[in-house]
Structure 1
Amino acid sequence: MKKQLKKQLDLQFISSIGGGCFGKVFKIVHSNSKQVYALKVFRKNEKINKQEIETMQSFQNHPNIVRFIKDISTQEIQGYLMEFCPFGSLSSLVQKNSKFLEKRKLRLQVMKDIVNGVLAIHERGLVIQDLKMDNILISSDFTAKLCDLGLAQIPDEQENVTFNNDIFYLGLIFAELGFLEFAELCSQKDCQKRPSILEVAEKLKNLDDGL
């Protein structure tokens, strides 16, 4: 695979930076421009792979969704290039950088970024289904960006695919970042009492940033 990508796209592998049940992610560099990218290479599941590529591509200009660069899929490989986020995942940041949790203003901005990304996806009529800190990346300017949208789909109550489910998992992220009032609001057991993502965004706008 490495030789093929080197030959076809002039890309050089630097390191493996992540992976999951659907594929692996590599840090790579373009040989001529020296531009660094992230490359996601899928395991063989054509339906999910195609869906993720199409979904990521449709949001490529949104500031809080990882920017899609190029579909590099061939008969042998399925995957795509995306922007490289040097601070890694939000879960990794929380685990490795205790000072981050001490900075309320920074935590609040990250939370606003996440909500802004979720809002864009919900407004497109899609449920994320895989909203978690592992799937939120932190860019070079410390902007939080959603990634891994391969499971996103239109709501289906019979399959329990609802916007309320995303709100519940958003509440878990609020809890991890220390915003317990929002965590309780979003993670209510009665899903009908959970706010919409638009209501969450409005409440966040009115939250004092601690300055």
Structure 2
Amino acid sequence: MAAQAVILLLFPSLLSAQTDAPDASAARLPPPSTMTTTKTPGIVVVACVASALIVAAAAAVYLTCWIRRRRRVESQRLPVDVHTIREATCNPRNKLGGGAFGSVYKMELPDGRCMAVKKVKTRKPRRGRLVDDAGEGGARLQLENEGNVLVRVQHPNLVKFVECCKDGDDCFVITEFVPNGSLDKYFHGEDRDREELPWPPRYKIIQGTCNGLLYLHQQGILHRDLKMENILLDSDMNPKITDFGISKVIDQRRTHITMDFAIGTKGYMAPEYAVRQYSPTSDVYSFGVLLLEIVTGRTSYHTAGGDPTALDFLREVWRDFSDGCHGKSGFADGVRNITQRQLLTEPGLDIEQVGRCVRVGFLCGQDNRRHRPGMKRVNQMIAGDCGDVELPPPGQSWMGTLRTPSVIRICHVVSHRHQPRCT
């Protein structure tokens, strides 16, 4: 130890070298603070550039879509002013029809095209709400609702929206003009000279209406007023669903909606209207009534005994169908017993196809909404796109006094024998 002390005293530089050696090795590594400050700006710059590129790309996509939409709207704008619309809607000869919430007129454009104009007149608001001839705020709200729904949809079996405008107290919704009018004129209209529809056009109308209603349900839209008057026919007898004034857009995860009051057309309202509930299967119910009307040639709201209901119509059709089921051919005789007589005289009538439509009509007309098929399945059954599962028998509760074991047993047996299998 004494020798080491002497050496350190004689050579003090060694002590300084030993003490400085660790600092020299540490000096070769940058301090942690220096590393952080040198790398953080690079990361921030990269993040900022990436964010700016994403925002610029999103803005470019939005601007492109907006420009295309604006060009499409501009290209679809009518070469017509409000004065032309006024002239068309003030001429009684141009009136195509009307209801509680407005009248529809035919309007001819300067270029020769024809359009349909729905007009609603509203008065001044009372306590902040519109008052009109159809009820407090009813007509204006329905017209706005129809325009909002038509803008969202585009399908060959739905009437095409063109434009919506307002002039003073009058509101107008302009749609395509459908030349052959509404379906009800072919069944119980005042034009007695019109020929009755043969089965092929009727089946085409059934399929097209089913496709249009299926599309609406896929978009989360309930029509809520499906009837013959709201089915228009174009020059090729293709159906187009119209009148979306009381339609409703709902969340497709919901099983039903609750209404403040029942609204619709008597003869097509589903039983759940009694508790002010509505669901997609309520449209299915109306479609079932419409389908049976097309097959039988009868109407659901001209029944004996006062106020018409769909139940009266279904019981009447079921009564005739069940009476026919007692024949030798069973189900086929039941179908012939309710099919319009004019159809039965057609050569080459596909009675199996007619029977399939009758069966689907009864399935859709069940009083319990949980037992009714969805529109996707209805579309498959009508088209004959079936699997290996037999069609389930319809509910019996709406048949009333006709629910006898013999009738049910006969109709179930013959229906399973004659009907195709379906998923």
What's 1:89 paired with? 182
The AA in structure 2 aligned to 1:84 is F
Q: State the alpha-carbon separation in 2 of the partners of residues 193 and 40 from structure 1.
A: 37
Q: State the alpha-carbon separation in 2 of the partners of residues 75 and 172 from structure 1.
A: 40
1:171 aligns with 2:349: no
What's 1:19 paired with? 98
Name whichever structure is richer in helix by fraction: 2
Q: 1:88-167, aligned counterparts within 5 Å?
A: 88-95=181-188, 96=191, 97-100=194-197, 103-155=198-250, 156-159=256-259, 160-167=277-284
Q: Which runs of 5+ in 2 are unaligned?
A: 1-79, 123-138, 251-255, 260-276, 296-356, 386-423
Q: State the alpha-carbon separation in 1 of the partners of residues 116 and 229 from structure 2.
A: 15
Q: Is the 8 A contact 2:186 2:196 kept in 1?
A: no
1:50 aligns with 2:144: yes
1:8 aligns with 2:95: no
What's 2:382 paired with? 204
What's 1:3 paired with? none
Tell me the SS of whatever aligns to 2:159. Answer: coil
TM-score (norm 1): 0.86
Q: State the alpha-carbon separation in 2 of the partners of residues 69 and 7 from structure 1.
A: 14
Deviation of the 1:154 alpha carbon: 3.4
Q: Is the 8 A contact 2:230 2:241 kept in 1?
A: yes
Q: State the alpha-carbon separation in 2 of the partners of residues 62 and 53 from structure 1.
A: 15
Tell me the SS of whatever aligns to 1:38. Answer: strand
Deviation of the 1:98 alpha carbon: 4.7
Distance 1:9-1:200 versus aligned 2 partners, 3 A rule: farther
Structure with more contact order per residue of length (Cα contacts < 8 Å, sep ≥ 6): 1
The AA in structure 1 aligned to 2:120 is F
What's 2:341 paired with? none
Q: Is the 8 A contact 2:121 2:169 kept in 1?
A: no
Q: Quote the sequence identity (%).
A: 24
1:33 aligns with 2:111: yes
Deviation of the 1:141 alpha carbon: 1.8
Q: State the alpha-carbon separation in 1 of the partners of residues 228 and 95 from structure 2.
A: 19
Q: Which runs of 5+ in 1 are unaligned?
A: 1-5
Tell me the SS of whatever aligns to 1:10. Answer: helix
Q: State the alpha-carbon separation in 2 of the partners of residues 43 and 161 from structure 1.
A: 29
| Structure index of larger Rg | 2
TM-score (norm 2): 0.45
RMSD, matched Cα: 1.8
